[in-house]
Amino acid sequence: MASGGDKSAWVKGSGNKAAKAPGSADRRPGLGPNAPLLGAPRSRQALATPALIVDLNAFEHNLKSMARLCKRAGLALRPHAKTHKSIEVARRQIAAGAVGISVATVREAAVMVEAGLPGVLLTTPVVGDIKLDIVRGLAGRSKDFMVAVDTLAGVEALERGGRKLTVLVDLDIGMTRTGVPDIGGALALIRRVQSSKVLKLAGVQAYSGMVQHIKLVADRENVYGAQLTHLQAVLQAAGTELGYKPDIVTGGGTGSFDIDRRAGLFTECQCGSYVFMDVQYEDVQLSSTGPNPFKTALFVQCTVISNNHPTSPTTDGGFKTFSMDGPIPRLARGVSPQAVYKYFGDEFGKVSGEELPLGAKVELVTPHCDPTVNMHDFFHCVRGNVLEEIWRVDARGSL
């Protein structure tokens, strides 16, 4: 499952030989120092680094693959933009058939609504007056904007001000992060929203995070299966006790997708990482019946900036380049398969087991795609050796 090294075209001649596209920086202002390279032959190897890279062929494969799998399972897709925080990626997901976009933060919600994207679902309950005001404003600007709620106090807060808002009741099926944990509490919250004069109930959300990276489908199914049994019990109780069948049952991630699409409980899924993949997901068995349906599309390109210690050259990517909540970044291009990357400080890394010339480029799979993306301003989108496009990480930040 490792990406494996591919040294061709990366060490030799890496660096400065790409022809500049004259004037292109002026035509594409605000796209960073690599904008003049857009469209130039061998521009991938000439990038100023550290640079976040999207392999467009792999990215497009992932869009198609997910659309096909969802269609086959009769599931809608509302992919999670917490992975990419990018208007352009969201647009392409919708063009590939997604019904909308899930978001985790108020800023992500604002960016996607302001870009005119449909079906934006804020999957995190909102607390605090400033954020509540922003969310009420977004509801006025997008007719199908939705937000998750998981407490009675949260319902009351959303009602304040009287702005019409569509909500989903968030269910905790075992993760203990957000959501109502028990059946009685879930029914009480559903009933409370149903009786609201301000809020409209669109359905329920049930997401479980920790199970996503359990390596084998069978083991994942054991743990997650019990959680889905709880979801089933809530849905059944809502039917028998309240006569309520939610229009939307949303949740799931890339790791649980294979199970979710067979479970028959969800109407839609919120997978996020599938679009890029990362080291964590490269090591997870994603399908019970065949090979992993998604390709690694996200990399960070780094440059060798010092090689005075020949067998451990220093690169320009370190703690501030990769999020460190996952495994170490995995070398994918520019080195032999035996080479290993090591963190070597805020702005530095080491490649051990490989002699590389000054200016050589290496590309690494990100340990965990979402927080790594949040450390960068731009996606450098490549096809083969050419930098085809640069997209902004529009919703980068914390709010």
CB of 280 to ligand PLP, least distance (A): 9
Contact, 193 vs 155, CB < 8 A? yes
Q: Which is nearer to ligand PLP, 256 or 303 (CB)?
A: 256
Q: Which is nearer to ligand PLP, 89 or 104 (CB)?
A: 104
CB of 255 to ligand PLP, least distance (A): 6
Q: Which is nearer to ligand PLP, 42 or 82 (CB)?
A: 82
Cα 308 to chain center, whole Å?
38
CA pair distance 150, 312, nearest whole angstrom: 51
Q: Which residues contact 392 (CB under 8 A, 6 or more apart)?
A: 30, 31, 86, 87, 88, 377, 378, 379
CA pair distance 56, 363, nearest whole angstrom: 15
Q: Which is nearer to ligand PLP, 288 or 336 (CB)?
A: 288
* DSSP code per residue over 53-65: EEEHHHHHHHHHH
CB of 276 to ligand PLP, least distance (A): 9
Cα 385 to chain center, whole Å?
25
CB of 379 to ligand PLP, least distance (A): 17
CB of 253 to ligand PLP, least distance (A): 3
Helix (H, G, I), strand (E, B) or coil at 170: strand
Beta bridge partners of 329: none
CB of 218 to ligand PLP, least distance (A): 19
CB of 146 to ligand PLP, least distance (A): 13
Contact, 326 vs 273, CB < 8 A? no
Q: Which is nearer to ligand PLP, 66 or 199 (CB)?
A: 66
Q: Which is nearer to ligand PLP, 212 or 227 (CB)?
A: 212
CB of 247 to ligand PLP, least distance (A): 18
Q: Which of 62, 64, 46 is nearest to 9 (CA)?
A: 46
Residue nearest to ligand PLP (CB): 253
E-strand ranges in the chain read 51-55, 76-77, 101-103, 120-122, 146-149, 165-171, 199-206, 248-251, 268-269, 298-306, 314-315, 330-333, 340-343, 349-352, 361-365, 378-383, 386-392
Beta bridge partners of 386: 383
CB of 256 to ligand PLP, least distance (A): 8
Q: Which is nearer to ligand PLP, 44 or 80 (CB)?
A: 80
Q: Which is nearer to ligand PLP, 14 or 83 (CB)?
A: 83
Q: Which of 392, 365, 383 is nearest to 43 (CA)?
A: 383
User: Applying CB under 6 A, which residues contact ligand PLP?
Assistant: 80, 82-83, 102, 104, 123, 207, 209, 212, 253-255, 270-274
Q: Which is nearer to ligand PLP, 45 or 102 (CB)?
A: 102
Place of tokens 């480029």: 361
Contact, 50 vs 321, CB < 8 A? yes
